[in-house]
A and B are shown apart, each in its own frame.
Chain A
Amino acid sequence: VRLRSLEITSFRKFTDGIRVSGFGDGLNILVAPNEYGKSTIVAALRGLIFEKYRARTEAVRQMQTLGSETSPTLALDFDLAGGLYRLEKRFLHRQPSAMLVGPGGRRFENDEAEEELQRLLGFREPGKQGANDESRGIWGLLWLEQGQSFAKPKLSETGRGAIRECLEQEVGALAGGERGTRILVAAETAIKSFVDGRGKPASTWKDLLEKIAEVETSLSGSRETRKHLTEDLAALDTLRSERQALATDGEDERLRIEIIQLEKDVEASKLFEARLGEAKATLAVQESRRDAADKEITERQKLEKDIEAAGREADEARPAFEEARKKTIDLRTRREAEAQGERTLGGRLSTLREEETRLAQQRKLFECRNTLTGFQEALDKAHVAAESSDDLEARAHAISVTPTALQELKQLEGALAKAQADRDALATRVVFSLEPGAVGHINLGGVPIAERHFESLLTSPTRIVIDGVGQIEVRPGAKDMEEADRALHLAQETLRDRLAKFGVESVAEAEGQLQKKRDFQTDARTAKADLATLTRERTLADGSRIAAGLDALKKQVNTLRAAADELEAKGVQLPASRNELDAALSAAAGEVRKVEEATSLTRARMDELASLLEESGREEVTRSGVVRDAEHRAQLTGQRLATRRETKSDQDLLTRRVKEDLDRKVAKAAVSELEKEGAGRDPLKTLEARLTRLEATRKSRQDRRQKLDIDIVKIETSVSGQQGTGIDETIERKEADLSSLRTEKALKERRLAALQLLASELRKAEAEAKERYLAPVTQRVQPYLAALLPGARARCTESLELEAVERDGVTEDLDILSDGTREQIAVLTRLAFADLLLGSGRPAAVILDDALAFSDAARLERMFDILTEASKKVQITVFSCRERAFERLGANRLVVEPFHSHA
Chain B
Amino acid sequence: MRIIHTSDWQIGKVFRTFDREAEAVLQSERVEAISRIGMAAVENGATAVLVAGDIWDQAHVSDRTLSLPLERMRLFPAVEWHLIPGNHDPHTPGGPWARLLDREVPRNVRIHVEPVPVPLGDGSEAWLLPAPLTRRHALGDPTEAMDGMETPPGLLRIGLAHGSIRDFDSDGTGTRNRIATDRATTTRLDYLALGDWHGQVRIDDRTWYSGTPEADRFGRDDVGRALLVELSPPGGSSIVTSIETGRFRWVSMEETVHGAGDLDGLEAALRRLDDSPQRVVLDLSVTGTLSLAARSDFDRRVRSGVAAAFAACRIDDSGLAVEPTADDLDAIDHAGFVRAAADRLRETAAGPASMARETAALALRELWVLHAREEGR
A246 to chain B, nearest CB (A): 18
Identity of the chain B residue whose Cβ is nearest the Cβ of A184 in the assembled complex: B338
B99-A187 in contact (CB<8A): no
Stretch binding the partner chain, chosen from B54-62, B121-129, B146-154, B276-284: B54-62
A586 to B354, CA, bound (A): 142
Contact with A along B163-197 (1 / 0, CB 8 A): 00000000000000000000000000000000000
Stretch binding the partner chain, chosen from B227-235, B252-260, B301-309, B356-364: B356-364
Identity of the chain B residue whose Cβ is nearest the Cβ of A733 in the assembled complex: B14
Decide if A869 is an interface residue (CB 8 Å cutoff): no
A719 to B94, CA, bound (A): 8
**Which of A180, A232, A751, A755 meets B338, CB within 8 Å?**
A180
A733 to B23, CA, bound (A): 11
A730-786 at interface with B (beta carbon < 8 Å): 730, 732-733, 735-736, 739-740, 750-751, 753-755, 757-758, 761-762, 764-766, 768-769
B366-A175 in contact (CB<8A): no
**Which of A723, A728, A735, A768 meets B340, CB within 8 Å?**
A768
A234 to B364, CA, bound (A): 58
Looking at chain B's contact residues, is the secondary structure mostly helix, strand, loop, or mixed?
A: helix
B337-A728 in contact (CB<8A): no
A586 to chain B, nearest CB (A): 137
A757 to B362, CA, bound (A): 9
> Contacts of A729 on B, CB cut-off 8 Å?
12, 14, 57-58, 60-62, 65
A229-B363 in contact (CB<8A): no
A190-B94 in contact given A176-B338, A729-B58, A757-B360 (Cβ < 8 Å): no
A468 to chain B, nearest CB (A): 153
A761-B16 in contact given A183-B371, A229-B60 (Cβ < 8 Å): no
> Contacts of A236 on B, CB cut-off 8 Å?
93-94
Contact with B along A118-153 (1 / 0, CB 8 A): 000000000000000000000000000000000000
B255 to chain A, nearest CB (A): 21
**Which of B16, B61, B364, B365 meets A736, CB within 8 Å?**
B16
B337-A726 in contact (CB<8A): no
**Which of A733, A736, A761 meets B345, CB within 8 Å?**
A761
Decide if B92 is an interface residue (CB 8 Å cutoff): yes
**Which of B58, B65, B337 meets A766, CB within 8 Å?**
B337
A187 to B338, CA, bound (A): 12
Contact with A along B319-347 (1 / 0, CB 8 A): 00000000000000101111111001100
A175-B60 in contact (CB<8A): no
> Contacts of A464 on B, CB cut-off 8 Å?
none
Contact with A along B39-64 (1 / 0, CB 8 A): 00000000000000000011111111
Decide if A182 is an interface residue (CB 8 Å cutoff): yes
A764 to B64, CA, bound (A): 60
A823 to B299, CA, bound (A): 58
Identity of the chain B residue whose Cβ is nearest the Cβ of A763 in the assembled complex: B341
A724 to B373, CA, bound (A): 52
Identity of the chain B residue whose Cβ is nearest the Cβ of A726 in the assembled complex: B62
> Contacts of B94 on A, CB cut-off 8 Å?
229, 232-233, 236, 719, 723
> Contacts of A768 on B, CB cut-off 8 Å?
337, 340
A762-B16 in contact given A190-B366, A726-B63 (Cβ < 8 Å): no
A232 to B93, CA, bound (A): 9
Identity of the chain B residue whose Cβ is nearest the Cβ of A754 in the assembled complex: B362
Decide if A727 is an interface residue (CB 8 Å cutoff): yes
A222 to chain B, nearest CB (A): 10
Decide if A725 is an interface residue (CB 8 Å cutoff): yes
Decide if A177 is an interface residue (CB 8 Å cutoff): yes
> Contacts of B339 on A, CB cut-off 8 Å?
175-176
> Contacts of B61 on A, CB cut-off 8 Å?
726, 728-729
Looking at chain A's contact residues, is the secondary structure mostly helix, strand, loop, or mixed?
A: helix
Q: How many residues of B contact A (CB 8 A)?
A: 43
B336-A177 in contact (CB<8A): yes
B198 to chain A, nearest CB (A): 17
Identity of the chain B residue whose Cβ is nearest the Cβ of A750 in the assembled complex: B362
Q: How many residues of A contact B (CB 8 A)?
A: 47
A751-B362 in contact (CB<8A): yes
> Contacts of B337 on A, CB cut-off 8 Å?
175-176, 180, 762, 765-766, 768-769
Decide if A186 is an interface residue (CB 8 Å cutoff): yes
A183-B16 in contact given A728-B59, A732-B58 (Cβ < 8 Å): no
A758-B60 in contact given A234-B93, A735-B16 (Cβ < 8 Å): no
A218 to chain B, nearest CB (A): 15
> Contacts of A175 on B, CB cut-off 8 Å?
333, 335-337, 339
> Contacts of A180 on B, CB cut-off 8 Å?
333, 336-338
A414 to B367, CA, bound (A): 129
Contact with A along B84-97 (1 / 0, CB 8 A): 00000000111000
Decide if B370 is an interface residue (CB 8 Å cutoff): yes
Identity of the chain B residue whose Cβ is nearest the Cβ of A172 in the assembled complex: B335
> Contacts of A187 on B, CB cut-off 8 Å?
366-367, 370
> Contacts of B358 on A, CB cut-off 8 Å?
750
> Contacts of B62 on A, CB cut-off 8 Å?
724-726, 729-730
**Which of A237, A727, A750, A762 meets B359, CB within 8 Å?**
A750
**Which of B57, B63, B374 meets A183, CB within 8 Å?**
B374
> Contacts of A727 on B, CB cut-off 8 Å?
60
Q: Which of A229, A232, A234, A732 has the most CB of B within 10 A?
A: A732
A233 to chain B, nearest CB (A): 4
A769 to chain B, nearest CB (A): 4
A177 to B338, CA, bound (A): 9
A765-B340 in contact (CB<8A): yes
A744 to B344, CA, bound (A): 28
B226 to chain A, nearest CB (A): 25
Identity of the chain B residue whose Cβ is nearest the Cβ of A766 in the assembled complex: B337
B362-A723 in contact (CB<8A): no
B366-A758 in contact (CB<8A): yes
A728 to B65, CA, bound (A): 11
B341-A758 in contact (CB<8A): yes
A780 to B366, CA, bound (A): 39
A765-B359 in contact given A229-B60, A729-B60, A751-B366 (Cβ < 8 Å): no
> Contacts of B338 on A, CB cut-off 8 Å?
176, 179-180, 183-184, 762, 765
> Contacts of B335 on A, CB cut-off 8 Å?
175-176
B60-A183 in contact (CB<8A): no
A369 to B155, CA, bound (A): 173
B88 to chain A, nearest CB (A): 9
Decide if A633 is an interface residue (CB 8 Å cutoff): no
B362 to chain A, nearest CB (A): 4
B363-A726 in contact (CB<8A): no
A740 to B19, CA, bound (A): 8
B14-A736 in contact (CB<8A): yes
Decide if A61 is an interface residue (CB 8 Å cutoff): no
> Contacts of B14 on A, CB cut-off 8 Å?
729, 732-733, 735-736
A709-731 at interface with B (beta carbon < 8 Å): 719, 723-730
> Contacts of B336 on A, CB cut-off 8 Å?
175-177, 180, 769
Identity of the chain A residue whose Cβ is nearest the Cβ of B358 in the assembled complex: A750
> Contacts of A237 on B, CB cut-off 8 Å?
93
Decide if A498 is an interface residue (CB 8 Å cutoff): no
A755-B340 in contact (CB<8A): no
* 16 other A-B residue contacts (CB within 8 Å) besides A740-B16, A740-B19: A180-B333, A183-B374, A186-B373, A226-B60, A232-B94, A729-B58, A732-B14, A735-B14, A736-B23, A753-B362, A754-B363, A754-B366, A758-B363, A765-B338, A765-B341, A768-B337
Query: Which residues of B approach A to under 8 Å, CB–CB?
Result: 12, 14-16, 19, 23, 57-66, 92-94, 99, 333, 335-341, 344-345, 358-360, 362-367, 370-371, 373-374
Query: Which residues of A approach B to under 8 Å, CB–CB?
Result: 175-177, 179-180, 182-184, 186-187, 190, 226, 229, 232-234, 236-237, 719, 723-730, 732-733, 735-736, 739-740, 750-751, 753-755, 757-758, 761-762, 764-766, 768-769
A–B complex contacts, Cβ < 8 Å, 8 sampled: A175-B337, A183-B367, A186-B374, A187-B366, A187-B370, A728-B57, A729-B14, A762-B341
- By Cβ-Cβ distance, the 8 closest A-B pairs, closest first, are A176-B336, A726-B62, A728-B58, A175-B336, A754-B362, A233-B94, A765-B337, A765-B340
